[in-house]
Structure 1
């Protein structure tokens, strides 16, 4: 039955292309696209559960990126003679109220697997049910569809390799939905009295009360030393994909360059747009296949898809395990790790002042740009949870605050993995100096973010604690003055991990 009036509730799907909820709502006579700026996503919030702590929910980089994404979506809808209705408040209140005001027959939206997102969704659907409004859920943020998993999400393997092989061998990627055109877009719904629904203002970063911790710009503008200015929105997402694949022809070498640390071209850097829903992974897959047909098909083209499957893996893991992922003991319910409560050490890690250059460079890049490469962010995480033994969730929560490309499943799933409480039956840690020398042999990355170490030769820039007083005087770098002394003996900290 075709709805006379449909409401589309945008969430982390801020795009027109491959948007199933939007596509399926186009058959209505009138359409109301809606986005709710949920105040619970901003400001200091308790983590929740046992051993809870407070943290800043959303930092300025992602807040700015989201604001730009909303503005871009609104402009795209207006180009189709539609609009995006923006309201500040809880979706559980706003969505049913707008459905009632417009006498909507159905509300279309995408569903997501985390408990926090599901709780909001349930609050919305409960009230819609009382109104007699149909609820139309869709799954649209992964490469492989939830319904196409070989054995259902409840039975997926807890190890990535097994999961990857199962979907590669037994599932297919669905074709993406086309973006709507002007002639297919229904007119904007009005109230039952015929009054227009005001579009509403998109809040500024400052008005949301977002703090700027550890050097972050208050409006989310990254330092010019950053690799890329992540501009929010579907338009910027498609431009980035086009630049990386076609204009610069980078994909052919992705596997060889993906562990890079400096510059914009060593990796695709699509994560921010994927995680805010400005870019569909299925559309990326289609473009990679087209690239393989027209340019080259090799290990690098496969590896980008391999990374998209990693992203899927954590989405489905959270669907499977639910809130167990947020426990300190993780899905393995580990109680044998003696986590430390050392706020001074934690603050030094956040500020990039641990005295371990590879870690500090990563944290300063994160603080100044909202982004850090996968290689560097994993090393910084490993140091906090394995060498320092600080509660892994506090580190993950700080990444949640700062990252422009934060995704709840990928972020917390990867942190749990490194901390040994997630999807791995092994304890794992990084040898930080070895990693630094392997991936930053000339210390270019370290000295870029820690210019105070630039006078030192590369081998000493990675291990400044090995410099004698005379060497420090020779190069003009004094530990404890120009750069911090290490928070502890790094080598000794590995002993309990071996």
Structure 2
């Protein structure tokens, strides 16, 4: 059997079902496509992937290629669409089975279906749900339609009735005879149509992409500094790399699994300390799961203006308002500081995201999808489910039972009482 691992948002070798399953084959290869579609213009006038996440992705694929090489598995990397490249690759290498992570949102489905349609029916495609904390086969619901509207109900039921699966053992290196001629290279950022940049010294996310770097961050945040013991107290911070785990970017592209983080927390609780703060990181992983189940349940409704509630609002669109919001030139200094941060770094705190989303949709009454698309373009840790789920939540068309509007002035007084964060980002004109 000749097996192919089609990497997408599972860019790791540790705790990766597709890698483990594929290793049963006689010959094993990996493939990753930098799909030009994701570096072109999206539906709302922004590039689907801007330079910050693109660079993080490049670093991630470089590390993936190096880690697979240690297993004697070659990773073929192409700047091409999967539907064009993979059928050709399957024919050239006589592939019998393709292993990949199960995705279900619009763009990912379209690419997978196009690949399958262009290869012989004899080629087996095996998909694995590998991005969850609570596996879909284990949750206490008989159907996706039973997934509750409210997070708390979902969390309590899953915590009571569902166990997190253990992580998979890392695969052993394959025989060195498993070698193939592979002249492919990971593209540079300019190859993707983007500009080189230097990391802003003020950024709260100065980290680099890749599985090794994800593991280093866990080691640092958990074991070296033990900042996990203060996570809940500091997670609403705004300045610096230490106020939160910052693991979301590696989670988003699958450099690390939610299960790996969960069991690392459990190990920390057994050997160092167990408190509300350590639990809260697991709490946030469950939130991440919840938005994935929301999108599984509702499909492409998460991209519609009415959201999953089918709520009708009189949404507005204004090019001038959009420009002022993006460039941090609104009448609200707290909003401005957060928007300038994301423009310069690709990062924004959880507290900032909620405030700028609420300001955009509730105060400015602008089409929430424009804001979500801008975040999709800019965020280092963009995850389709969490991004669009959170934007629906903050815009009154999602899963918030209280339908809140954030008072950004009070939020600034509470979370930036000395104005340190605002001073950091409002000290210069960025645009």
Shorter-chain TM-score: what band? over 0.9
Cα RMSD (Å) = 1.7
Return the alpha-carbon distance in structure 2 between the equivalents of residues 247 and 185 of structure 1: 36
Displacement after TM superposition at 1:154 (Å): 3.0
Question: Is this contact kept in 1: 2:72–2:174, CA < 8 A?
Answer: no
Paired residues for 1:34-49 under 5 Å:
34-45=31-42, 47=43
Measured against aligned partners, the alpha-carbon deviations of 1:297-329 in whole angstroms (never above 9, x if no partner) come to 110111000000000000111011001110011
- For 2:199, the equivalent position in structure 1 comes to 222
Question: Is this contact kept in 2: 1:26–1:184, CA < 8 A?
Answer: no
Q: TM-score, normalised by structure 2?
A: 0.96
- For 1:231, the equivalent position in structure 2 comes to 208
2:330 to 354, 364, 385: 354
- For 2:154, the equivalent position in structure 1 comes to 163
SS at match of 1:136: strand
Structure 1 residue 143 corresponds to structure 2 residue 133: yes
Structure 1 residue 15 corresponds to structure 2 residue 12: yes
Count of paired positions: 430
Displacement after TM superposition at 1:424 (Å): 2.5
Displacement after TM superposition at 1:132 (Å): 1.3
The structure-2 alpha-carbon separation of the partners of 1:431 and 1:158, relative to structure 1 and needing over 3 Å to count, comes to same
Structure 1 residue 30 corresponds to structure 2 residue 61: no
Displacement after TM superposition at 1:221 (Å): 3.6
2:249 to 252, 262, 272: 272
Displacement after TM superposition at 1:186 (Å): 7.7
2:76 to 85, 103, 107: 85
Question: Is this contact kept in 1: 2:150–2:401, CA < 8 A?
Answer: no
Q: TM-score, normalised by structure 1?
A: 0.84
- Higher Cα Rg, which structure: 1
- For 2:94, the equivalent position in structure 1 comes to 103
Displacement after TM superposition at 1:93 (Å): 2.4
- For 2:355, the equivalent position in structure 1 comes to 379
Question: Is this contact kept in 2: 1:222–1:370, CA < 8 A?
Answer: no
- For 1:261, the equivalent position in structure 2 comes to 238
The structure-2 alpha-carbon separation of the partners of 1:221 and 1:157, relative to structure 1 and needing over 3 Å to count, comes to farther
Return the alpha-carbon distance in structure 1 between the equivalents of residues 421 and 60 of structure 2: 30
Return the alpha-carbon distance in structure 1 between the equivalents of residues 144 and 297 of structure 2: 6
SS at match of 1:154: helix
- Name structure 1 gaps, 5 residues minimum: 48-52, 191-195, 211-217, 453-481, 485-498
Displacement after TM superposition at 1:90 (Å): 1.6
SS at match of 1:56: coil
SS at match of 2:245: coil
Displacement after TM superposition at 1:341 (Å): 1.6
- For 1:201, the equivalent position in structure 2 comes to 185
Measured against aligned partners, the alpha-carbon deviations of 1:369-417 in whole angstroms (never above 9, x if no partner) come to 1101100121111111111011000011001111001001100100010
Return the alpha-carbon distance in structure 2 between the equivalents of residues 8 and 31 of structure 1: 8
SS at match of 2:315: coil
SS at match of 2:100: strand
SS at match of 1:312: helix
Measured against aligned partners, the alpha-carbon deviations of 1:226-268 in whole angstroms (never above 9, x if no partner) come to 1231201001000001100000000111111111111111100
Bigger shift: residues 171-180 or 249-258: 171-180
- Name structure 2 gaps, 5 residues minimum: none
